[in-house]
A and B are shown apart, each in its own frame.
Chain A
Amino acid sequence: MSADPGIWVAAILTLAIFSFLYRENPVFRFAEHLLVGVSAGYYLVQYFFSAVYRKLYVPVFDNHEYILIMGGVLGAMMFARLWRKYEWVSRYPIAFYVAAWAGYVIPSYVQVRILQQAESTMFNPMALPPAEAISNFIIFLGVVTTLSYFYFSAERKGPLKISSHVGVIFIMIGFGATFGYNVMGRISLLIGRFQFLLTDWLGIVQ
């Protein structure tokens, strides 16, 4: 059994969280509130200090890159929302924050999520062994019908009805597969916690 108080604290809190599976109870409630408080403090320190110190204080005061003051100005503008009358001021940093990334993602998503995915769906059936050609054709069929499932401009009637039904078949198989595949990952997390309890804390398993 471990003699490290840190391990003991961690083990007790681990059990406290597990107790939620049985029912919500005071021990869990304590652990949950502690987790919220400690993690909120942790991230405040990590992000506030890393951002304001590294991206504002150091560049401006040590490196004299005065343009970075603008970040501080935008950040300060967010505080305007504490007074309802000046809340509109905070819309500027929000507009900046959202639009900067929106502009950036447009070409990236078009390239990676649309064009390249369409490209990988195309294939030359003559150049492939039959088994692979069939698999590729199934992929093609699945992509086309799944995409047709998301066609909003018409009622699902006639050919669209058939193709979106086929699309649902693919979607359901895909979801089943994702579900099944994820089971493994979820269980390994639990294995990790048990390894901690059994090895690090109790020392039963080596």
Chain B
Amino acid sequence: MAFYDRMMQIDRRIIYLCMTLAVAIPLIVPIGMPVQVSDEARGFYDHIEDLEAGDIVLFSFDYEGDVMAELNPMSIAALRHLFRQGVRVVSVTMYAGGTGIAQDILEETAAEYGKEYGIDYVFLGYNPDWSGTILRLGESFKATYPADQFGKSTREIPLMQDVETYDDIALLVSIAGSALSEYWAIWAGGRYGVTVVSGNTAIQAILIYPYYNAGQIPGFLGGLKGAAEYERLVDIPGLGIKGMDAQSVAHLLMLSFIVIGNVGYFLSRRHERKLKEE
């Protein structure tokens, strides 16, 4: 096999092995690359920054364990920011698998800022059927969630006394591994006029651009980079910034493979042309 053919047909397993090293090594030996903030992330940050102490935010954990790596850094950073502002948080999840994650993150961040359950934040838990839940919250929070995650009646939770419908919600934050933030924007935003900002997996984030440009979602965080940018803005370094080195190296690795493939392709074409000329 000619050299350029080999460049074009690298075995998958070699690519896999290089990828493993490209991610593992920077995690063990960090480099510390700079992070530049995008407008989308700034929009997300500004909407939280503009809230006043006592405002109520609806925070939706719209993901399950499989995308924890990408979205947990955002949830943690956003909740820290909200609690730091003295904002009260009503939290829900649209996924059955999201309850454990939400509970852990809420408890951890609330403890950091000395927030009290039932007064500063509340976790209503999971309600099957997200579309119905989103719409029904517009009619009544307490009817949609008669009890919180721990079985306590929402009528008896002090924070819930101030929440009847979306009118009482200053901002809706959806951290989503699926199209849920779009649905929040379409239904809660479109129909009830709530401002929606979102944190999304990178794959989902690209679909948010039409909504961002149309003003339906005025700010969002895209993938681990979005999380790192936001961690930068709130000035609390976390998992996002830590992962960016591995991210950069892995990207460069992939680009190198693409370059190798293309160089091989051009060499083989030149070789073919030469053969024809002869």
Contacts and interface: CB of A to CB of B under 8 A. Distances in A.
Does A pair with B?
Answer: yes
Interface of A: 21-22, 43, 46-47, 50-51, 54-55, 108, 111-112, 116-117, 119-120, 177-178, 181-195, 198, 204-205
Contacts, number: 100
Interface in B177-213: 186, 190, 201-203, 205-206, 210, 213
Contact of B96 (A21, A46, A116, A188): A46
A181 B205 contact: yes
Contacts of B246: 187, 191, 194
A-B residue pairs, 4 tightest by C-beta? A192-B69, A185-B202, A188-B224, A120-B214
A108 B191 CA distance: 10
B19 interface: yes
Contact of A188 (B69, B214, B254): B69
Interface size on B, as a range, is 35 or more
Given A22-B13, A43-B96, A54-B128, 12 more contacts: A21-B16, A50-B96, A181-B203, A181-B206, A182-B203, A183-B202, A185-B224, A188-B70, A189-B67, A195-B27, A195-B69, A198-B28
Most chain B beta carbons < 10 A, residue from A116, A177, A184? A184
A181 B203 CA distance: 7
B243 interface: yes
A183 B174 CA distance: 22
B96 A193 contact: no
Interface of B: 13, 16, 19, 23-24, 27-28, 66-70, 96, 128, 186, 190, 201-203, 205-206, 210, 213-214, 216, 222-225, 239, 243, 246-247, 250-251, 254
Contacts of A205: 27-28
Given A192-B70, A205-B28, A50 B202 contact: no
B11 to A, nearest CB: 11
Nearest to A22: B13
